[in-house]
Amino acid sequence: MVVSTESSHVLVTGGAGFIGSHTVLVLVSQGFKVVVVDNLCNSCEEPLNRIEKLAGLSEPLPFHKVDLTDNEGVRAVFRQYNISSVIHFAAFKAVGESVQKPLAYYRNNVTGTLNLMDTMSEFGVKNIVFSSSATVYKADYEGNALREDHELGCTSPYGRTKLFMETIIEDAVSAEKGWNAVMLRYFNPSGAHESGTMGEDPRQIPNNLMPYVSQVAIGKLDKVHVFGTDYNTRDGTGVRDYIHVMDLAEAHVIALKRLSEKHGYEIFNLGSGTGQTVLEMIDAMSEACGHKIPYVNDPRRAGDIDTILCDPTRASKVLGFTVRRNIKQICADLWRWQQLNPNGYN
């Protein structure tokens, strides 16, 4: 069921970013009218051009270069469009950088969300899907799959900003009638669009494993650094739960449609429920690219743990969402993107 109409738009904040742009593609492909807001500090407009081509759009996607901390700029967008709901991606997202620049993360992520929620309330827009993260959970050293009721306990300023953003939205839902909100806490997004024309484009050396591995595979970086080989896992390297970016994008659209059922405030974990070690992911990418990917073993990093897995039961039962793409497809699509776009969108 498509819930958009000729007169209403879905506002996607951070819609030029990795997950945001893939979600915009799914939205427009399903007939939603979309307006994108992004300050382009970690992205560019090119993904929007590629969305227009992939979706066969006859008109340019409405795009506004606006920072969410600019309250008047946000209000101007709401005045221009009849917005029915919001999918909120816009945020700084590097864990390591957040430790070095915590105030910048609090200012951007928390203040931006406050301004967005204030403006939504002012214009009577009370439907929001929020892009959250598994970093809000307390680290579980027993390796149990994390459910939505798992104890919270962030280990970085980035994680705390995500939790604060969730709390702001939850309190608004509790205080003011008519709000509906879905929090999506996801684990390790990876992959790219199957065409190879859209993918993740890190501005600097990648912080996450798979973009790093793919850049080693194509020769931009020398070797993968494996941090720790003495974890209590099947090969001694850390286990993580990976989800294809297109599965993730489709989950956001499913969540958007659920807002019309008016359930108030809900939380869902998004992941596969299975995990791969670092070495298994390197092997899978080696298979995708057709050659061995070099790596070196380094000491553990502070704060890393053995295993982090998603329990996807609730998303499956309530949303009807399960991942459709496996690790092999994640690596194949990521490699296709890397080959066709060795320098990203530049």
Domains and CATH numbers, the chain: 9-340 (3.40.50.720)
Write the pLDDT tens digit of every residue in 217-266.
999 999 999 999 999 999 999 999 999 999 999 999 999 999 999 899 99
Active-site positions?
Answer: 158
pLDDT in tens, the chain (346 residues): 333 334 699 999 999 999 999 999 999 999 999 999 999 999 999 999 999 999 999 999 999 999 999 999 999 999 999 999 999 999 998 888 888 999 999 999 999 999 999 999 999 999 999 999 999 998 766 678 999 999 999 888 999 999 999 999 999 999 999 999 999 999 999 999 999 999 999 888 888 899 999 999 999 999 999 999 999 999 999 999 999 999 999 999 999 999 999 899 999 999 999 999 999 999 999 999 999 999 999 999 877 889 999 999 999 999 999 999 999 999 999 999 999 999 999 8
CA dihedral 25, 146, 128, 24 (to 10 degrees): -10
Q: In one letter, which amino acid is 151?
A: E
147: closest CA among 258, 321, 232, 267? Answer: 267
pTM for the model stands at 0.95
Which tokens belong to 198?
């859209």
Spatial strand order of the sheet with 265-270 comes to 63-65, 34-38, 9-13, 83-88, 127-133, 180-186, 265-270
- The pLDDT of residue 50 is 98
Residue 224: name the closest of 236, 216, 233, 235 by CA: 216
Rounded Cα–Cα distance for residues 332 and 203 (Å): 22
Instruction: Show the DSSP H helices in the chain as ranges.
Output: 18-29, 46-55, 71-80, 95-100, 102-105, 112-122, 157-175, 209-217, 245-258, 278-289, 313-314, 327-340
The alpha carbon of 219 is separated from its chain's Cα centroid by a whole number of angstroms, namely 26
